[in-house]
Structure 1
Amino acid sequence: MLPFEELKDLLDEKYIHFNRPNFIPNDPISIPHKFSNKEDIEIAGFFASILAWGQRKTIINKCVELLELMDNAPHEFITSFEPQDLMPFEAFKHRTFNGTDCLYFMESLRNIYENHEGLEGVFSKAIKESDASIEKGLIHFRETFFELEDSPARTTKHIASPLKKSACKRINMYLRWMVRKDNNGVDFGIWNKIKPSQLVCPCDVHVERVARKLGLIQLPKPNWNMATELTENLKSFDPNDPVKYDFSLFGLGVEGYM
């Protein structure tokens, strides 16, 4: 493992290198960047994060396809669709996410915006300012998302939860997009009810591999405990914004570091 100062210098250097606008076009975060309205950004970002597995080009193309079905006005669509408007979504598919899942997501998101103060309201409701992490928020979000009577059992696998010991990679990535605040133009920072210090680092294969080689994680499996272990270690470099180093670890992984 590198000495503390050398490791911090490496992480800070790569954070600056990758956290810039030229990161956006080839990443799923490009999807919410197509919008300017807060609710459109958070809904488009939510779908982009949920569909974010596989090749990034394919993910982006499938998100574009899905948003076109919403007339590229996701908040207006979610809050005003009629039953017949949902028919085209029955044929939507990305890997294991299919039409059944898509239809339930539409109904659940409508419920969230009509009855739970939107996505930010649901994620933040169970989190106290004194909480070290967003764990309770993720648990509450999943419970709320599947509170409708007709929620299909098959769809539950698409929303991870710490209660299931999942690393919650995609949800943590989404929350990074919505919560982190800087002037670099990649993350949005449009949510104010969750602190950046409460975020948990997304652990994809690149992040896990590099973090392990740098000695930032010791636990053997990519689960919630490993994600929090990594985040706690990143707090030694920046306690107020540890998840900014997601850029560094991901970028080092893409570069084939080590």
Structure 2
Amino acid sequence: MNKDLKITLESLVARYNTTAFMDNDPVLFPRCFLGKTKQDIEIAAFLASTIAWGNRKQIMNGCRKMLFDIMDGKPYDFVMQHKWEQIDPECSIHRTFFGRDLAYMCKGLHSIFIESYSFEYVFIQSGCNVWKGFETLREMFAKANGGKYSKHLSNPTPNRHKGGSACKRLNLMLRWLCRQDGIVDLGIWHELTPDKLMTPLDVHVARVGRELGLITRQGNDRKTVEELTRNLAVFDPKDPCRYDFALFGIGESQKHVKR
């Protein structure tokens, strides 16, 4: 173990894993539903993470528009009462994510909640393997939408042309829902434990990971996520994803503030 690197990572986690972190981060939105139903939190986490790319201010505006302007602060009722049928398909929410995309997600969520009390069911049925869970999720959403797949739900399955998506946004959602740090992440799921999680990988985390020698691969795909998480697990095998804060923190200090 590289003790100097561990000290660096731990100090950065302490600096960035704070309540101040939430001010401009989409994790703020699922946290708005603490004290309400578990399903409200799950839906908010899923939708907020789904649009978590690009300009942070725009992400926050898009989350607010979905969860409060459109869903009136009642996402579970909105989904289960089919209110998504009234969404303007051309409504702009965040960059390439429109009203029709939100309706697609709501149909998938409705299908899941008809079958189970919790969104976590998808991952439990997949043996608490996050990649299998993402594959199952993608198939369930497609089935609920007449066999149509969404570009906003990444495909983690490798093929001869691609190594499988890093699924950054879905992994970010799982970090929020599974980690129980009592500070930023919500930790409302208990079957899918933190040691099973994969690190959310964006271009900045990948760059920092390579600078620190935690990543040797060139592409930012599923295998790279697995390599990074495996190397972070050397420092904390029970919760390797908590170092996501440290990698983000380095990027932040270098003025790379997009997630």
Structure number with the higher helix fraction is 1
1:196 counterpart (194, 197, 219): 194
- Distance in 2, Cα, partners of 1:135 & 1:149: 21
| 1:98 Cα offset (Å) | 1.8
Residue of structure 1 equivalent to 2:80: 79
| 1:232 Cα offset (Å) | 0.2
What runs of 5+ residues in structure 2 fail to find an aligned partner? Answer: 159-163
1:160 counterpart (154, 161, 182): 154
Q: Does the 8 Å contact 1:90/1:102 carry over to 2?
A: no
- Distance in 2, Cα, partners of 1:88 & 1:248: 40
Q: Does the 8 Å contact 2:24/2:57 carry over to 1?
A: yes
- Distance in 1, Cα, partners of 2:145 & 2:23: 39
What runs of 5+ residues in structure 1 fail to find an aligned partner? Answer: none
- Distance in 1, Cα, partners of 2:73 & 2:89: 14
- Distance in 1, Cα, partners of 2:112 & 2:119: 7
Q: What letter is aligned with 1:124?
A: I
Q: What letter is aligned with 2:105?
A: F
Residue of structure 1 equivalent to 2:97: 97
Q: Does the 8 Å contact 2:87/2:99 carry over to 1?
A: no
Residues 1:89 and 1:116: Cα distance change in structure 2 (over 3 Å): farther
| 1:92 Cα offset (Å) | 3.4
- Distance in 1, Cα, partners of 2:145 & 2:13: 44
Instruction: Report the TM-score when normalising by structure 1.
Output: 0.90
Select between 134-143 and 190-199 the one with higher mean Cα deviation: 134-143
- Distance in 1, Cα, partners of 2:6 & 2:87: 51
Equivalent residue pairs, number: 248
State the Cα deviation string for residues 141-162 of structure 1 (Å, max 9, x = none).
Answer: 2112212252444xx2111132
Q: In structure 2, the residue corresponding to 1:93 is in which secondary structure? A: strand
Q: In structure 1, the residue corresponding to 2:49 is in which secondary structure? A: helix
| 1:118 Cα offset (Å) | 3.1
Query: Percent of counterpart pairs with the same letter?
Result: 40
Q: In structure 2, the residue corresponding to 1:232 is in which secondary structure? A: helix
| 1:90 Cα offset (Å) | 4.4
- Distance in 2, Cα, partners of 1:171 & 1:82: 24
Q: Which aligned pairs between 1:33-52 and structure 2 lie closer than 5 A?
A: 33-36=31-34, 37=36, 38-52=38-52
Select between 162-171 and 117-126 the one with higher mean Cα deviation: 117-126
Instruction: Report the TM-score when normalising by structure 2.
Output: 0.90
Residue of structure 1 equivalent to 2:122: 122
